[in-house]
Amino acid sequence: MVLGWLAHHWELKLLALAFSATLWVFVMSSEKTNVTLPLPIELDGVPSGLVVTSERPDTVDVQLHGLRSALLRVSPDAIRVRVNLAGSRPGEVMVGLAPDQIVVPPGVSVVRITPSVVRVGLAQER
């Protein structure tokens, strides 16, 4: 009797199972989430005649927001935090980090950068 119930309209039951599995995959892959990655800092535009003298963090924590499937494809090696020091003078320079300084793939946005300010010491080259 039980087998008769399972075998009755088996095509429709198999179709319903396939549809629900497809729907589950779609919902799981379209879910938005956050991920925090430690990203390296790159100093660009150090003026000629100046050298970086102070300790600075090598990385900052960047919180990204987007579709789970897009965030799974984000490679930390492909993203850098670029700090432009062009026009800086000798001494201690405080550089604010903003989300627009980080290039991320389409569909992914930068939510937070920690720390949001980086301190860089510059001195005349000897």
Residue ranges covered by each domain of the chain: 1-30, 32-124
Read off the pLDDT band of 62 (50, 70, 90): very high
DSSP state of 102: B
Residue 100 has pLDDT above 60, yes or no: yes
Positive or negative, the CA dihedral 27, 29, 30, 36 is positive
Mean pLDDT of the chain: 84
pLDDT of residue 108: 86
- Which of 26, 29, 114, 116 has its CA nearest to residue 66? 29
Q: For the segment 1-29, what is each residue's pLDDT rounded down to a tens digit?
A: 566 766 778 888 889 999 999 988 877 76
Are β-strands 32-44 and 81-84 bridged in parallel, bridged antiparallel, or unpaired? parallel
What is the distance between the alpha carbons of residues 65 and 110, in angstroms, rounded to a whole number? 6
Q: Domain 32-124 belongs to what topology?
A: RNA Polymerase Alpha Subunit; Chain A, domain 2 (2.170.120)
pLDDT of residue 113: 92
pTM for this entry? 0.68
Residue 55 has pLDDT above 80, yes or no: no
Query: Which position has the higher pLDDT, 4 or 81?
Result: 81
